[in-house]
Amino acid sequence: MNDPNQQLLIGVVGPCGSGKSTLIAGLERNGYRCRHIAQEHSHVKYMWKHITDPDVLVFLACSFENSTSRRQLNWLPADHAEQLRRLSHALEHADLVINTDLLTPDEVLSRALDFLKGFVK
């Protein structure tokens, strides 16, 4: 692997509807190796590290309103709050946090790419 991007493993976490799949697709188009970490569905607070142990952990945040409208989820605020509770350990250890509420997918990708320019494993 000659491309330094391919040497990094980027983990992406966040609540449902935060844009994880969209960001991962964009990062992969730019040559990064990524792992979608479904931490929001686990009761194991350090699952993100145990399963993936990424070189860089990106946390995508979004509000209850955006989460439920983007994924057309029939949730209560308590459901979103529970996902945030499950994600709290990942949030504490994230290298980059992006709130996606007011950003387009291209803006989220741009912020992540700008941040990742400084990382070479």
Segment 89-98 mean pLDDT = 95
pTM, rounded to two decimals: 0.86
Residue 99 pLDDT greater than 50, yes or no: yes
What confidence tens digit (pLDDT) does each residue in 19-66 have? 999 999 999 999 999 998 876 655 666 666 767 889 999 999 999 888
Q: What are phi and psi of 111, to 5 degrees?
A: -65, -40
Class assignment of domain 4-116?
A: alpha beta
Share of the chain above pLDDT 90, in %: 52
Question: Residue 23's closest CA among 121, 75, 99?
Answer: 99
The per-residue pLDDT of the chain, averaged, comes to: 86
> 64-71 and 77-86 are packed helices; what angle lies between their axes, rounded to 10 degrees?
100
pLDDT grade for 1, boundaries at 50, 70 and 90? very low
73 C-beta neighbours (distance < 10 Å), count: 14
**DSSP category for residue 49:** I
- The pLDDT value recorded for residue 116 is 96
